A and B are shown apart, each in its own frame.
Chain A
Amino acid sequence: MRLLFLLISLFLCFTGIAQETEYQSLILDKSLTDNANAVVRLDEMKINLLATNKMLYEVRQVVTVLNKEGNSYATNRVAYDNERKIKSLDVFVYDKFGKELDHIKKKDFKDVSAADGFSLYTDDRLLVNRYTPTSYPYTISFNYTVETSDTGFFPPWYFLSNYKVSVEKSYYSISYANEQLKPEIKELNLASIEVSKKDEAGKIVYEAENIQAIKSESLGPAFRDVVPRLRVRLKKFNLKGEEAQVNDWKDMGVWMKNTLLKNRAILDDATIAKAKNLVAGVDDDLEKAKIIYKYVQDNTRYISVQIGIGGWKPISAIDVDRVKYGDCKGLSNYTYALLKAVGVQSYYTVIHAGNRQVDFDPDFAALQGNHAILAIPYNDTYYWIDCTSQVNPFGFVGNFTDNRKALVVKPEGGEIIKTVAYINEDNYQFTKALYSLNPSGSITGNANITTKGIQYDNRFKLERNTEDDVLKHYKSYWSNINNLKVGNYSFENDRDNVVFTETVDLSATNYASISGNRILFTVNTFNNNGYVPHRYRNRKLPFEIQRGFLDEDEFTIQLPDGYEIEAMPTEKTIDTDFGTYKVSFEKNSQTNSVVYKRKLLIKKGVYPKEKYAAYRDFRKQTARADDAQVVLVKK
């Protein structure tokens, strides 16, 4: 007994000493501290795959936090649910000499609901602990073991976890019990680092050392597109008790069809009759689909409830029909069922939604995505509908799910298909305005704005805003016009053609500045685009214009009597790789007015970092030209 005790205490002493020397942070390699708020000393995940429904993983993450910006690492959290159990969990904190400051045990962690901010209810939970640092640098070591029966979401590997963080040592291993369990791995962006890889019987290991931090830059690519990482999948996996055998997306689609979507699209006879009644007399499938979509939009709302496999399985159509609400899966599946009832084919589609376009990888069939929509095939093309929106026109998905590869679940299996794209001229705005300038410097007039594509998406919700919010919108949209007063306004939303038209009467005092006998005013009153990209001393990443747009403007300005033009900007055309800018000024002495025409085209594209300065220069010139002034002088 006594001996054992001695041994243990000796061992503890020994490890104590080892840690002290190991995790000092007085001397760190400069290549790791450059641009970094934290240095990950060790990032280690050891996965032990025992069966398709049994996996253990052991995580060890030791991070030296250099300043308060790196404090996100002082908050440690692990998620758990019915399938995912936390076996062990603790945190050690060391000072800069590597001396232990604190030891936080599993029982010290707070148990909280993993509220995602948009769900009414979720049964996922988290254990969380937050450490308060007292000085910098400090080192925090976070260790836990998880056992789970879910292997459908296989933990992927990121060699860098975030911007402004470097990694001293990264270690990822997967041990698998038999050859059938061997995971498939896809390497991404590994060129920028040196990785050693071992692939031996029953074990795969990836290791890398001294990975430097990267900084985020505006207009830069998504982090996931620059970070060295591994995508991992099992061909045979388990998701919340459902077994799957998936070689490719086709199989994935079949599996979804047979498990997650099975028997979900049943409706009662009364509802089927009602749906049929709605489309009575309509033959064309697309027209029928429009009617059904409108019915869903008018009769349901989005409420997210995630229980158990609910994260993947839609609530049944019959339940949605009863309560008239659901999440994206429930509402998509419900609409699918209604369309089916009226003989229109549609496909349940899993997608990665968000302003940033993220593709499903066609060669790598692994569970992913955060949203569900429907694809409706018609005349060799697809119409996409988002059933969680009560306002989108039929077939219009906006910047939430546009132009990206998604998994379309067809009866014969899954297929990766790209959604509708809105590019360059598609995102159109035309502003036609007429205003008169008074000798006092005030203006009165009206503007008419027509938008399409993503620009429509940015505007059409105005229709539903309260007057207060509409006025706030214009005051901020035309923040270049001080003392703006908005009078009557009206909107027209052409849902069939996806065109939104705003007509606004307005006035503003002191718009022009008076300087002695002269009146100076900016000609571009209604679409003054002052955007200039952020300046970088040393740009590191390429940049991207995700969608592009085209603006055209035509303003007629009635000049005050008794004044003549002393100076007027000249016509200008700037043509670049990134787009075109064109302005003209036309004087009409007869009516004493000026007609200003402007066109700004910004083109979608990915450009190398070397071109960033040129792009910035282009936008500087356009911003500058938008501010061009006309000078009037008293006759």
Chain B
Amino acid sequence: MIKFQNPLLVIIILITSAVSAQDFKFGKVSKEELQEEVHPIDSSAAAAVLYRKRSVHFKYVLNQGFNVHINVHERVKIYNQSGFKHATVIESLYKNGGDKENLSELKAFTYNLEGGAIKKQKLDKSGVFTTEASKNRSEKKFTLPNIKVGSVIEYQYKIVSPFFYSIDELVLQYDIPINSQKISIAVPEYFSFKPNVKGYLAVDPKYKTEFGTLKVATGKSLSGGVTSTKELRYSINVTNYDSKSIPALKEESHVNTMENYRSAVKYELKYTQYPESIRKDYTTTWEDVIKKIYDSKYFGDQLKISKYYKDDLEALVGASNGNKELMSAIFSFVQKRMTWNSINGYSTDKGVKEAYKEKSGNIADINLMLTSMLQKAGLDANPILVSTRNNGVPLFPTREGFNYVVASVQMDGETVLLDASNKYTKPNLLPTRALNWYGKLIKKDGAFSTVNLLPKKVSKENYSMSISLSENGDIEGKCRTTYSDYDAYMFRNNNASTEEEDYLEKLENKNAGMEISEYAVKNKMTIGKPIMESFAFNLESQADVIGGKIYFSPLFHMALTENPFKLEERQYPIDFTYPRQERYVMNIVLPEGYEVASKPEDVNMVLADNLGGFKYKIVENDKSLQVMVDFKINQAVISSLYYADLKELFKNAVEKQTEKVVLSKITSDGTSESSEGGR
């Protein structure tokens, strides 16, 4: 069993630095702050947050109930021109029907040092903009005046939100360093929230209790006006996330989305309990989240409707032998019939019935329809909630954590995953967008289980080539390539609608501009079978002819010449999307009159825990060489703990693949100058 190192484990210990006592009261920007030229810890920082405060609290409004107030205060230092973009601030505000979040009390200033004196300039109205981004989102933007290298900007504003049941994630880490931050959330006793922490930074919450009072109506007139009130004293649970010296979140390659690694706290509402009222539950546990989703008319109910496909399903059932065949038949039917409209979601858009009629729909329309048909046909089929790669990993039970759904069937003790939204998927091969750690499988009774979505089957690319090398370094020969599973899936997605002529041009240019003839392809569109390509080719100058000797690397233009891993260190897991293997078998006929003077040695490198390996074997026969190369990555996602090993594996693979065979002329007496070679 391969053990995953949990990438989201908190492993970084906060570095506390000696930050001198600074005044973070609004407007108290100091000369020292303006004079600072580089960030004391991260010299590469283009800007840094000197201080940031975000306090979330609840305010009671008579006859309206509680609103959420968020007070924001930030002081930002600009070190260089790349940091200018931090002088523009964008807040996204949610709205729904008549309810909307409101930004108010915006105050912002730019501070500069001019002739030794601090000069401040106010943001005026011309620098504030509101854009209606979509039906549910508007954006408030402002950009500060008079920004220079060295400027300090400071702003504060308030957001009032009626959406107490959905509090925005409290972000604890930015793309620039934060020197000091005070994040707090104060929740009245009537609300129970569950904080969920993510990211690589350690957080150290401090708790305290405060008290507040509010006026509630005790009497109302017939028209609804308040006639009498009483005062209520209640307790407030305050949590403070104060921290210092928070490093910038820095991008790395081979990562699904950096947002998975940004430190943040998400407050999820468990329930509300107002005085003299009954408790109202909101989602908290996976059970609750899943039940809520399942009970929705856009999810569970969609599974129950079956009339619309009845006749088509009967035909499929009648024509299939056994469950496996039936599953495949239903899957292909939905896959062929339906076209995805590029919209994700676990809630249906048009509804399965309408989608079926129109032959297009969102992910839920298609995959819930598929699940329903599979169930109706008597298979043990269930939907699985998924979060796409771009959406991040759902670490905590929230409905927003998911944005996708696939189907599954229990068969022979195995969970078969199905997604009919792409034309080239097959059972147990999901589109790459859905390959994101774990999904939640929901049974009809509402019970659920966690399913690993990462593919375990290795996708293969096999190259088999017979090549003859000429004395001047040109090669010609035949190539046979097979692509299986995800490699075939990718091939089909990329080339399905490409005309052959265009494809060949692409293939030729991918292969160092070789000339291709006799091209044939098998199973190009037969999903489930590996694609087999074959062609004849010729390619110039693939060997160096120097001083009567011929030098070449036996993978020729196919050799991997560059190590994709260049960073010295890495913090985050390496995401290969799916396990993969590349194999090359090359039969090289040597030019007449030459023999092998030297050749690379065989190697066999294996990564720890069977995570992958690289094998290289070269055999000399009479007038020919046979080279076998096998490069494997056995796991879709590899922990960063193995980064150094992985980088070393690639380094060795590059070196081996670029190493040369040396041929020398056979002298007239039939011996060569070298005694190497031969068996």
Contacts and interface: CB of A to CB of B under 8 A. Distances in A.
A567 interface: yes
Contacts of A464: 80-82
A616 B659 CA distance: 28
A566 B547 contact: yes
Contacts of A391: 81
A472 B566 CA distance: 8
Interface in A507-532: 510, 513, 515-516, 518, 520, 532
B551 A121 contact: no
B143 interface: yes
A483 B651 contact: yes
A271 interface: no
Contacts, number: 138
Given A132-B360, A468-B44, A515 B659 contact: yes
Contacts of B84: 301
B546 A567 contact: yes
A319 B134 CA distance: 31
Contacts of A510: 651, 655
B143 A120 contact: yes
Interface in B520-562: 540-541, 544, 546-549, 551, 561-562
Interface stretch (A145-153, A322-330, A448-456, A547-555): A322-330
Given A69-B497, A537-B501, A567-B549, A132 B598 contact: no
B14 interface: no
Contact of B541 (A130, A132, A624, A631): A624
Interface in A134-152: 134-135
Contact of B143 (A303, A319, A616): A303
Nearest to A510: B655
A560 interface: no
B81 A631 contact: no
A515 B131 CA distance: 65
A325 B145 contact: yes
A516 B81 CA distance: 53
Interface string B657-679: 01110100000000000101000
Contact of A631 (B131, B339, B549, B674): B549
Nearest to B553: A513
Given A121-B131, A537-B504, A322 B145 contact: yes
A520 B129 contact: no
Contacts of B654: 482
Contacts of B360: 132-134
Contact of A301 (B147, B540, B600): B147
Contact of A120 (B81, B88, B339, B548): B88
B341 A631 contact: no
Interface string B331-363: 000000011111000000000000000111000
Nearest to B546: A567
Contact of A305 (B129, B651, B660): B129
A198 interface: no
Contacts of A535: 505, 508-509, 513
B146 A324 contact: yes
A579 to B, nearest CB: 19
Interface in A98-114: 112-113
B513 A532 contact: yes
Contacts of A567: 546-549
B664 to A, nearest CB: 11
Contacts of B143: 120, 303, 325
Contacts of B43: 466-467
B37 interface: no
A482 B561 CA distance: 8
Contacts of B61: none
B5 interface: no
A520 B660 contact: yes
A325 B147 contact: yes
B131 A113 contact: yes
B127 interface: yes
Nearest to B423: A68
B132 interface: yes
Contacts of B551: 515, 520, 629, 631
A518 B547 contact: no
B148 interface: yes
B547 A631 contact: yes
A567 B250 CA distance: 47
B126 interface: yes
Contacts of A323: 124, 126-127, 145-146
B255 to A, nearest CB: 15
B63 interface: no
A515 B554 CA distance: 14
A508 to B, nearest CB: 11
A569 B505 contact: no
A534 interface: yes
A498 to B, nearest CB: 19
B226 interface: no
A338 to B, nearest CB: 16
B113 to A, nearest CB: 13
B676 A516 contact: yes
A581 B111 CA distance: 55
A120 B145 contact: no
A414 B593 CA distance: 75
Interchain residue pairs A-B with the least CB separation, the first 4: A567-B547, A466-B44, A323-B145, A132-B341
Given A472-B566, A516-B674, A569-B546, 4 more contacts: A467-B43, A482-B562, A513-B660, A534-B505
